[in-house]
Structure 1
Amino acid sequence: MPRFFLQQPLAIGGLVSLPDSITHHIHVLRMAIGDMVTLFNGEGGEYTATLASIEKRRAVAEVKTFSPRESELPYAITLAQGLPEGSKMDWIMEKAVELGATTIQPLAAQRSVVRLSAERAEKKLQHWRGIIEAAAEQCGRNRLPHVCEPVQFGDWIGRQDLHRRILLTPRAEQSLSDWARHHPPQAVTVMIGPEGGFTEQEESAAANHGVLLLSIGKRVLRTETAGLAALAGINAVWGEF
């Protein structure tokens, strides 16, 4: 059954006007009046609805039932990702949603090639939110992960109101999997550097602010691989897989 995200209140018995993007998708799928769809608004649970009318640019669905089904991890994972070049961040965000990340924090690190002005950052945020919505539709999540505004590494690392932070570096002596095996499931933030990784100065600053430095194996992973491998590894050790 097709799943669609709607940023509006949903209630059993209500008629919902579907936006152009969803209407277009309905036409592509060659759906007809009476066909069923799943709707969710990110506030938890999902609704089953039937298509009541389909026009060229407008479709209406009638909400029939509600299910409290959830597919969230029992612990929160934040991915603090150093801004990579090109469209890599799009791919990282899509896969992070599938792997259960609850928050994604883009970081402007010293080796980040991308530099976002305030205007570009706002456009990127809107673009990334669309990617997150689509990924949640596909993977069956009923709550949308939060994507934060890009922030400078130096400004973010000094914040004190964050849960356990882990920076992955090949220079660390303890592995992520070894640490996870000896600690109960808990809220964590996984920090991944951009191409070239975090600098030694950034790693030192992180350690001085209580960040735990861990490795992810003997091989050096690309920036678009490391965070996703870390999320999968944590989920495997803590019993999600």
Structure 2
Amino acid sequence: MRVPRIFTSEALSLSTEMALDKEASTHISRVLRMNTGQQIELFNGDGFSYFAQIQAIERNQVSVRVVEAIEVNNESPLNIHLFQGISRGDKMELTLQKGVELGVKQFTPLITERCGVKLDAKRWQKKLQHWQKVIESACEQCGRNSIPSLYPAVKLQDALSQLNNTSFFMHPDSKHSFKTIIADAQSELQLWVGPEGGFSDEEVEWVESHGCKPVQLGPRILRTETAALAAVSVMNSLWGDF
């Protein structure tokens, strides 16, 4: 049986003893039906894998003790920052989940003209908390020990100040593809992707006027979640560890 990986926000070190939270305890005791003496893997984003032995299971509360700590670096050599136009339903979650698997290190949700998600400040906060859980769960699944950064949702106009010399935005009418671009893979590679319906003509003018380079992914029109993940895959193939 594969050793389950569990994210925790707690500080960890060799011999740490702790009780897992309710969600993790339920998963370990009821879903996986593990027993005392068996091992799980913990991580908290500090780059280490902490192997812990189950000490007790009482009323669905699982207690463990860390018995081994191993530094594991399986991060992409690229520092990709995905500025993603917010999409409806589970499309945004899919982009975040698969982006984590593909090695994206930073995510910024973009509020654009064609963004179909309209929320007040309180609901935006709840949405960000949910997206953070999606990112942490994706790290559990794919083996990453560093948690990608998730920044607050921001309007496109306000985000443009963050553009750098290695910023690319997806545009189906661009004459440029990634294979024609020479990029400094040591710098932050920014990828800007519009929501469903893409960037408006005015938004395209804004990003181009700020020096963001338009790039296309072939002659077919891609959905927003497909464009982001395909572009990240291409960047990894050209400059990363694919």
- Normalising by structure 1, report the TM-score: 0.95
The structure 1 residue matched to 2:26, chosen from 18, 24, 37, is 24
Aligned to 2:185: 185
Query: Take 1:226 and 1:66, find their aligned partners in 2: how far apart are those partners?
Result: 38
AA aligned to 1:228 is: L
Q: 1:235 is paired with a residue of what secondary structure? A: helix
Q: Percent identity?
A: 37
Alignment partner, residue 217 of structure 1 = 218
Alignment of 1:131 with 2:134, yes or no, is yes
Mark the runs of 5 or more structure 2 residues left unpaired by the alignment: none
In structure 1, C-alpha distance between the alignment counterparts of 2:155 and 2:86, rounded to whole Å: 10
Q: Give the AA of the match of 2:185.
A: P
Cα distance in 1 for residues equivalent to 2:28 and 2:240: 37
Query: Counterpart of 2:205?
Result: 204
| Runs of 5+ consecutive residues of structure 1 not aligned to the other structure | none
Alignment partner of 1:63 is 2:66: yes
User: How many residue pairs are counted as aligned between the two chains?
Assistant: 238
CA contact (8 A) 2:40 2:52 kept: yes
Partner of residue 164, structure 1: 166
Per the TM alignment, residue 239 of structure 1 is displaced from its structure 2 partner at its CA by 4.1
Q: CA deviation at 1:126?
A: 0.6
Q: Distance in 1 between matches of 2:167 and 2:5?
A: 34
Match of 1:33 among 27, 31, 36: 36
1:146 correspondence with 2:145: no
Deviates further, 90-99 or 182-191: 182-191
Specify the alignment match of 1:176 in structure 2.
Answer: 178
Is contact 1:177-1:234 (8 Å) kept? Answer: no
Q: Secondary structure at the match of 2:119?
A: coil
1:222 deviates by 0.3
Q: In angstroms, what is the RMSD of aligned CA positions?
A: 1.2
CA–CA distance in 1 between the matches of 2:236 and 2:100?
Answer: 13
DSSP-derived class of the 2:116 partner: coil
Runs of 4+ in 1 over 6 A off after TM superposition: none
**Cα drift, residue 25 of structure 1:** 0.7
What is the alpha-carbon distance in structure 2 between the residues aligned to residue 217 and residue 225 of structure 1? 12
